[in-house]
Amino acid sequence: MVAIFSSILLLNTVTLFANEKAAAAKEEGSFNVTETILEHIKDDHSWHLWGHTTISLPVILYSPKGFEVFSSANLVDEHHEPIVYKGYKLIAGKIKAVNEAGELDAAASKLLWDFSITKNVASLFISVIILLLIVLTAAGAYKKTGITSAPKGLQSFMEPIVLFVRDEIALPNIGAKRYAKYMPFLLTIFFLILTNNFLGLIPLFPGGANVSGNIAFTMTLAVCVFIVVNLSSNKNYWEHIFWMPGMHWSMKLFLAPIELIGVFNKPISLMIRLFANITAGHILVLSLVCLIFIFKTVYAAAVAVPFVIFIFLIELLVAFLQAYIFTMLTAMYIGMASEEAHHDHPAGADKELAHH
């Protein structure tokens, strides 16, 4: 049902998107594929709904003059073209300081700090509100009925997912003794990524923002994982990095810098993997839609639209897989960092273990 509803919604959105772009191309006389794709995957200071209808978001700037707060509507004219406002202008999607002639003032722009509520930030707030409503509602129901009663409503939706994260991710990778204290962190990561991935696939408001395809978002998650992993580490973990047991001292000196690089490579790989997969999916879908305007024939639309729906359904699976992979690797890194040292068993111990 979800897949069917999503496909119908996507088909309607593709039609709306096609009509808008066709009208724009007719007015401008050309269709820029690269600009169209980047426009839909990049962050913005306003939230486009349809046609010329947008939601203006708050701009919060800090400069030597102090804090300045105003609406992003002041930065564009009635045709949504950038204009100068209070010495600021949108240049390549970023707010920059400009001189009286409207040209970029590089020196002043370096002193400018942008704390604006952009499209991705607003979408992140929406996803957090959705998660809080779902989690708090389910938690409240458990308080009333107890954990032994049959789940109902949101409980029946949340409980299998929580048990999946516990039984398939936390327990196998961290261990039965230590997994419980990391469950809140793992569940937060999983649901945050999953919610933003699904919202990014909804083509209409409040979806459409490319949060998981923003490198700042994935970098923040990776930094959090890096901190938790290293705070969870023990002596055995660092010994295997700086002074590998059971090897000649010359090999230990050779392996130490390689292992140390691996400490930083793990969160970097998490950051890039999530960013690249989600962004690639959006670009692929938009590229197929743009084929309609490149060939400008009914046959192109007849071929492109089914492919768009097919890729979109695959993206629903990828949205879940990326949340699962990120959480699983996080649990694996925590388990490796907190794993106790393995000591040699005394004589006969192996037989005893094999017997049990």
pLDDT in tens, 292-345: 777 777 777 787 788 888 888 888 888 999 999 999 999 999 988 887 765 544
pLDDT at 158: 85
Nearest to 275 by CA among 202, 325, 219: 219
Asked if the model's pLDDT at residue 218 lies above 90, the reply is yes
Statement: residue 233 has pLDDT above 80: yes
Tell me phi and psi for residue 60, to 5 degrees: -125, 110
> Percent of the chain at pLDDT above 90?
24
How far is it, in rounded angstroms, from Cα 13 to Cα 19? Answer: 10
The rounded radius of gyration (Å) of the Cα atoms in the chain is 25
- The number of residues making up the chain comes to 356
Which stretches of 214-297 are DSSP H helices?
215-232, 235-242, 249-295
Alpha-carbon gap, residue 53 to 181, rounded angstroms: 47
Q: What Å distances lie between residue 45 and 93, 119, 183, 293, CA to CA? A: 8, 6, 35, 27
More confident site: 228 or 286: 228
In the predicted structure, residue 351 carries a pLDDT above the cut 90: no
121-149 pLDDT, tens per residue? 999 999 999 999 988 888 888 788 766 66
Q: Following DSSP, what letter does each residue of 10-59 receive, concatenated? A: HHHHHHHHHHHHHHHHHHHS---HHHHHHHHHS--SEEEEETTEEEE-EE
Q: Phi first, then psi: give them for residue 46, nearest 5 degrees.
A: -145, 160
Single out the residue of 31, 335, 9 nearest to residue 175, CA to CA.
335
Mean pLDDT computed over 104-131: 90
Count CB neighbours of 165 within 10 A: 22
pTM: 0.81
**Per-residue pLDDT, 217:** 92
Over residues 37-70, the pLDDT tens digits come to 777 788 888 887 776 778 889 999 998 888 999 9
Amino acid making up residue 108: A
Q: Which amino acid, one-letter code, is at 300?
A: A
- As beta bridge partners, residue 82 has 76
Structure confidence at residue 186 (pLDDT): 94
